[in-house]
Structures are given as structure tokens and as C-alpha cells.
Structure 1
Amino acid sequence: MTLTSRTFEVLAAFTPEHRTRRLAELAATSGLPLTTTHRIVADLVRCGALERAPDGSLHVGLRLWEIGSLAPRGNALRDVALPFLEDLYVATRENVQLAVREGLESVFVERLTGREAVTVMTRVGTRFPLTSTGVGRALLAHAPADVQEAALARPVRRWTPFTEVDPARLRAGLAEVRRTGVAVSDREVTRDAVSVAAPVRGPGGDVVAAVSLVVRHGTVSPPALGPAVRAAALGISRALGAPPSAVRKSLWREEPAPADAAQDRDPPAPSPRPGGPP
């Protein structure tokens, strides 16, 4: 293991659940000897990548955040997308999310939410498997074939009783995403939330991100949310410089049909009032 990989093992020990760590915890979590961890931590503190609190505990430093903010698929994408995300949020007052794909996971790079919006598990920087979330499915549906097969070959975590875990049904769902231009995750991560997502295309025409709207289950039917989410995704695609031919692929799509009875879903709620869902 190189020094760089060992350094990343130490940094990876910090998670949303463990934002503060002590030296011994870093060594245990990274699997590195205590002396090696001490040496790496000392270097990271000197350069500002880690900071030490008065009680001796360690947390991620501002310098590391400054460097991370330069990632083109993070803040650069966020800067272009934010006006469209804000428009979608103002129209709905619901959770609006933007994510990119990294390997077999989606990484959330932006999230807007209101006080009365349904609680979600995501935050900026959160990673989720591609198979269960709305943005994940929008990204996976347009990923290379080998990525799709690798994702479907892995065991799918059953977050709720509604989580789809059957590879054949998931594969059929991805085909539906490509047909309609919209991905739906209905109570598949939390029991009270529905996510509707659409892909975002970049300058080369490839899907580079996905935008989603997450609402409380039973307030609005997923098909009613599709046009607004797709419009936001198309606006971001154009702002990123997606070629007109790629944008046209997403312009005229049929709305996704309500989930079938075989999945034992509740019937869709009435369409939202003008101005967006409550």
C-alpha cells in the first residue's frame, strides 16, 4: 500500500456518523499501525487537511474542503445547475437534489429543502447505491452496459418492504427510465418518500448527472411531478452545453405510468394544485 493510499484510508475513516475521531480510532478504522497513523495525521494537520480540537480529537480541515470544492463534477456542476434547482424548489417547496455517478454509487452534490418537506436520508456528499434511489436509477439507466450489469449483479439492500431487489424487474425498470426520461423510487429508501428524477446531459451528450424531486408519499402522484423535474434537467443540460440532438432525445417522452398492481402500491394521489404540490 502506497503512502497516498494509506493517507486516503485515514481520511476515509471520517464519515457523516463519525465527523470527529481520535488517533486510536483512526488507526483502528483504517487498519494501519498506530505509529503509521500518527505520522500521517501529523502531516495532514500540518497542511491543514485535518484540524485538531482542544481536547485532542481530529476533524476534517478547511483546506481539504477548499481543495474538494474545485472538483468539476461537484461545485462547477452545482454552479450551473443551482438556478434551475432553485426554480424547482420555489415551485414546489420540496426536496430538490442533484447527484452524479461514481462507480456503482450516486454522490449527492446539492440538496435544497424546506421546513415542511419530507425528511430524507441524503445530504451533500452522501453516497447511495444506484439501484434504489430516483437519481441513482436515472444515472444507471444511461450508464455503460458493464456498469449496469455490475450494479444488478450485486445484492440490493432492502431499505423498506417496497424496495425492488429483483434484478430482472430492476432491468425492466431501467428500460422504462430510458423510454420515459423519468425514474421513480416509490417508498424504496424510506417508507414515506417518493423520488422522481431525470437525467442531465453534458457537452458530449452523455448523461453526467441527475436531478430529483422528493415528496411525501400520497401528496402528489409521480407522473404529475415528471414534467417539472424533466424541465429542470433539460435546462441544466442546455446550460452545460449539451448538443441539441441530445437534448431532443429527452424533449418528447410519455409520462411514466402509475406503478402496477403487482408491486402492491397505493393508488396515485390527485394531481397538484397550480403552483406545485403543497
Structure 2
Amino acid sequence: MDEGKPERSSIIQSVDVCIDVLLDVAKNPDCTLADIARSITETKPRILRMLRTMERRGLVRKSRNGTYRLGNTAIVLGTAASTQVDLVRVANPILEELGQKVNETTQLRIIDNGESLCIAKFEPTRDLRVHSMIGRRRPLHAGSYKVLLAYLPPQVQAQMIPDKLEKFTPKTITSRARLEVELNRIREAGHCVSRGEVSDQLVSVSVPVLAFDGSVIAAVNIAAPAFRTQGHDIQRYITLLKDAARKISAGLGW
């Protein structure tokens, strides 16, 4: 089975039809219930229930004359999707350039549903390297991805930190108070270095990437085996990462 295509049995039909309805409204603004029913060959009562649900959540809005357009929530989703697509497009060549300079794995990560999510990466050809995977998630409190947590507004940051911090190695921070001290230190330094917090054999360094409005939208990262990463390597990584982050930020309009 193709990994990118879910099995038919795993698809929720009502959700599938709801997406058809939303896409039809997106393609045909000011369409009527009858227009949508003809377009996707579904019954009006079923489509109406979906439209009312999406209207309640702001995905569509109904005009006085009974036609439908996308709502404000859809605009938020579209803007976020556009930003992330642009982010990957801008970041990919910069990640490759950075990875070739250090001959190590580089990644771009964002916050998604309370975790860090890899959305772009480069891996060198050497046999012994850190393996990365687009779509792989990691907790925010462990590893150098804490840099994403460090730049959140205080109230949002407090909500993102779980009550119990999972321990991966003896070096993982499991105290909320200690984590908050570390996040302040990261903000002051402008980068995060992690040695053995997620894996004993791993060293990683991350630097924030800024969106057009100056907010932190992502983190660019170098991950390498601990045995070949010395102090002078870390300092070089920080310098190169900050340069790469500036280039990505500039490509996003910062």
C-alpha cells in the first residue's frame, strides 16, 4: 500500500463529504445549496447539516440571499497553510546549504498541537548520521526545540508546558521551575543547545526563525552524533544557524 494514501476503510465518509462541500464553496463563491448538491451529487438535507456546522465554526458564511462563501476561520487556515508552504519553499535550499557546510542533519520545525513538528529536512550522505523524518513529532520540553517554547507569550507558554514532563534520559528536564529558568536563558542567548536530553548519543542546536511580523514561526536545527561534536563545533553551528535563520526570515519578509 502506498504510505501516502490511506485505506478506503479508514476514511470517515461524512468528513470526506464535508471536505467536498468546503472545497466547492471555496471554488464557487456565492453558490447556493442547490448548486453544491448538483456539483458534488449529494442530498440537500445532508449538505445543509454540514453547512450549518461549518457556519457555526466560521468555515463558511451565509449571505442574506442564501448563498455561501468562505468564513473567517477558513481565511485563518488559508493564511497558515500559505505561510507554511512558503516557509518550506524558502527553507529547503538554505537547509541543504547549511547541511553541506557542516555535513550533518538539518531540520526545520514548527509548533503543532503542543509538539514540535518537522516540516523540512536535509540529511548528509555519510553512513553515521542523525536520521530525520518529515512529519515526525517531538515534545517541546526536551531537546533544542525548547527554543520554540522559549519565545511564546508567557500565557501561551504556560499552557503548552504539560503538568508532567516526560523523562527520556537522565539529562531531560523534568522540573517545571527548572524548565522555566532554562527558557529564560534560551531567550537571552537567542539559541538552544541540547546535549543528551532526548538521546544520550545526540547533540542538537536550534535557532528561531522569524515571520514577517517579527514573531517566532519556526526553528532551524542541526543534529549530530555526540561523539564527533566538540565545543568548537557547537560555536560554529550557532553562527551558521543564525545566518541560516536570518536568510529564511528574510525570505518570509522579515
TM bucket (normalised to shorter chain) is: 0.5 to 0.7
Give me the CA root mean square deviation.
3.0
5 Å-filtered alignment, 1:73-84, equals: 73-84=83-94
For residues 155-179 of structure 1, the C-alpha deviation after alignment (integer angstroms, 9 at most, x for no partner) is: 1221222212111221111111111
Aligned to 2:100: 90
TM-score (norm 2): 0.66
Kindly provide the amino acid, as one letter, of the partner of residue 215 in structure 1. Answer: A
Aligned pair partner of 1:187 in 196, 212, 215: 196
Aligned to 1:223: 235
1:137 and 2:149 aligned: no
CA distance in 2 between counterparts of 1:19 and 1:96 reads 27
Query: Structure 1 residues 150 and 114, CA, compared in 2 at 3 Å: closer, same or farther?
Result: same
Aligned to 2:171: 162
5 Å-filtered alignment, 1:242-253, equals: 242=254
Query: Structure 1 residues 150 and 41, CA, compared in 2 at 3 Å: closer, same or farther?
Result: closer
Quick check: which has more Rg, 1 or 2? 2
CA distance in 2 between counterparts of 1:91 and 1:207 reads 25
1:118–1:193 contact (8 Å) kept in structure 2: no
Aligned to 1:125: 135
1:75 aligned counterpart, secondary structure: helix
2:91–2:120 contact (8 Å) kept in structure 1: no
Identity across matched positions, percent: 29
Query: Structure 1 residues 204 and 42, CA, compared in 2 at 3 Å: closer, same or farther?
Result: closer
Moved over 6 A (4+): none
2:92–2:121 contact (8 Å) kept in structure 1: no
Kindly provide the amino acid, as one letter, of the partner of residue 98 in structure 1. Answer: L
Query: Structure 1 residues 143 and 115, CA, compared in 2 at 3 Å: closer, same or farther?
Result: same
Name the structure where helix makes up a greater proportion of residues.
2
Aligned pair partner of 1:150 in 133, 137, 159: 159
Aligned to 1:58: none
Aligned pair partner of 2:122 in 95, 112, 126: 112
Aligned to 1:213: 222
Structure 1 unaligned spans of 5+: 1-15, 28-36, 48-67, 243-278
Give, in angstroms, the shift of residue 97 of structure 1: 0.2
